Structure 1
Amino acid sequence: MGMFRRNSLPEGEIYEILANQRRRETIRHLSVTPEGGPISLRELSETIATRETGESPPPRTTRESVYNSLHQTHLPKLEELGVVTYDRDTREVRIRERARDVNRYMEVLTEHGLTWGEIYRSIGVSGLTVVVLALAGVPPFGWIAPLLWATGFLVVFVIATSYQLWMNRWLVVQALRT
């Protein structure tokens, strides 16, 4: 990773970032924010507090705790490492190029709690199993041509990939710009 890109984060700093849940949530949220931000510290802290508590709106004490820890500790640390830009005057945060280094280490979860890797593996294993059963003539799978099964699972794979790219479109746009 570091051999190919001169401006990448050292692995130790990436693990330091990932060691804190609020820093991970900050990067995760900014990664799916249109254009990577800017987003207000208030909105970011509200989102993170909601994820932490599972309540919407989250309790005021949790919102304040998240707001203060982001403002005083986590955002300055992420800015120091070049992962975000944090304007202390306007209290706005924007993701930066180096966040891609951290994102490579984060397994991206869907809103259903599964990782995209788990979803793709499930589609692949299910598709292969159904095609083999169809080739073997096992009812009811054998009633449909294996090529139709394979095509169906390919369509499901394309839909899942398209959905993932759409949900992470601003990361994709940023990657294409560089």
Structure 2
Amino acid sequence: MQLFTQSGLLETEIHDILRNDRRRAVLKHLRQTTSDVTLRDLAEGIAEIETGESPPPKNIRESVYNSLHQTHLPKLDERGVISYDKNRKTIALEERARAVNIYMEVVTKYGITWADYYRGIATLSLLTVLAVTIGVPGLSEAGTLLVTSGFLLVVALSTLYQLWTQRWLYLRQLVG
């Protein structure tokens, strides 16, 4: 049984896209911008990540450029995840990138999932409010309203941070 995502991509297609380091690097790089990216800039950025050198060696830049141009970008374009203008050598994310992004962002850059993070905040807040309510010394003086407000502020700030890191998704919707 084949499972389709809301974007119309098969899960197997998404896994195939994400199986390659360079395709993942393309998507990560494009998420950080709201405008089109040139193939040259993209290849240089990926080569810097792969080598850890800035600027990366010319032979590595050329290797990345060629593999992106001949293999990875056409594949992503064919799946509708990006638009790749071969003549102008420009690349931009498409709406279908959202479906792929869900599979890429299972784990935050800190090593936990957003779901685990929010679950941890919720559990900690519940236990803290419970401790305040039953009068645990040191916490009961703070009061339930203050503790609850503090945790709501943490959730709000975390949500803003998460939205900021995903801003390309929302900005592209507004622009396009």
Instruction: Give the equivalent residue in structure 1 for 2:101.
Output: 103
Offset at residue 64 of structure 1 (A): 3.1
Is residue 2:3 matched to residue 1:13?
no
How far apart are the structure 1 equivalents of 2:45 and 2:23? 13
What are the superposed Cα offsets for residues 54-107 of structure 1, whole Å, 9 maximum, x if unpaired? 444444444333222211210011111111111222211011122122122222
**Aligned pairs, number:** 174
Which shows bigger deviation, 151-160 or 113-122?
Answer: 113-122
Instruction: Give the equivalent residue in structure 2 for 1:148.
Output: 146
Could you tell me the percent identity over the aligned residues?
49
Instruction: Give the equivalent residue in structure 2 for 1:65.
Output: 63
Offset at residue 151 of structure 1 (A): 0.8
* Alpha-carbon distance change, 47 to 117 in structure 1, aligned in 2, over 3 angstroms: farther
Q: 1:39 aligns with which of 34, 37, 40?
A: 37
* Alpha-carbon distance change, 56 to 108 in structure 1, aligned in 2, over 3 angstroms: farther
SS for the counterpart of 1:105 is: helix
How far apart are the structure 2 equivalents of 1:52 and 1:121? 34
How far apart are the structure 2 equivalents of 1:143 and 1:12? 54
How far apart are the structure 1 equivalents of 2:142 and 2:160? 26
SS for the counterpart of 2:104 is: coil
Instruction: Give the equivalent residue in structure 2 for 1:136.
Output: 134
**What is the Cα-based RMSD across aligned positions, in Å?**
2.7
Scaled by the length of structure 1, what TM-score is found?
0.80
How far apart are the structure 1 equivalents of 2:54 and 2:137? 48
Residue type of the alignment partner of 2:148: A
Q: Which runs of 4+ in 1 moved over 6 A?
A: none
Gaps spanning 5+ residues in structure 2: where? none
Instruction: Give the equivalent residue in structure 2 for 1:87.
Output: 85
* Alpha-carbon distance change, 104 to 75 in structure 1, aligned in 2, over 3 angstroms: same
Gaps spanning 5+ residues in structure 1: where? none
How far apart are the structure 2 equivalents of 1:176 and 1:108? 25
Residue type of the alignment partner of 1:66: V
